[in-house]
Amino acid sequence: MKEFYTSVIELRQPISRQFSSEPYECGWANEALFFLTVHPDIADFNTIVVRPKISPDGVHWVNAPGDATLISEPGLTAIAQSHFGGWLRLELSLEGAAQTAMITLHLALKG
């Protein structure tokens, strides 16, 4: 029987310019799915560039294989990861205008 776990990584977190989510240890999982919500009440940006980051130890980070996800409006976005080290997090870069947003980030793990 597979294990399944969902965690709230960030809850209604205001962000600006560059932001890295809290790291999460998930080496036991085979699959990871980030659910990123950009709330409409604070959404003054042109684009948010989202890159999953992977780490063997939670200290040293590299970009996960694959392309960045581009977000241009508030709403819910899913970002899947199937090849990662023991730790995951997201790095968000805002472009344009006042460069502010509010996010909620869930991480669903299965293994």
Q: Which residues contact 60 (CB under 8 A, 6 or more apart)?
A: none
Mean pLDDT, rounded, for 13-28: 96
Q: What is the pLDDT of residue 98?
A: 79
Residue 26 tokens, joined: 């998930």
Ordered by start, the domain boundaries in the chain are: 4-110
pTM given for the model: 0.94
pLDDT in tens, 47-95: 999 999 999 999 999 999 999 999 999 999 999 999 888 999 999 999 8
pLDDT for the residue 37: 99
Task: Fill in the DSSP letter of residue 98.
Answer: T
- Per-residue pLDDT, averaged over 19-36, amounts to 97
Residue type, 43: A
Spatial distance between the Cα atoms of 76 and 2, rounded to a whole number of angstroms? 26
Average pLDDT, the chain: 96
b/e string for 20-34 if b means 16 or more Cβ within 10 A? ebebbebeebeebbb
Return the pLDDT at 1: 84
Tell me which of 2.60.120.260, 1.20.970.10, 3.30.300.30, 1.20.120.160 is the CATH number of domain 4-110.
2.60.120.260
| DSSP classification of residue 17 | S
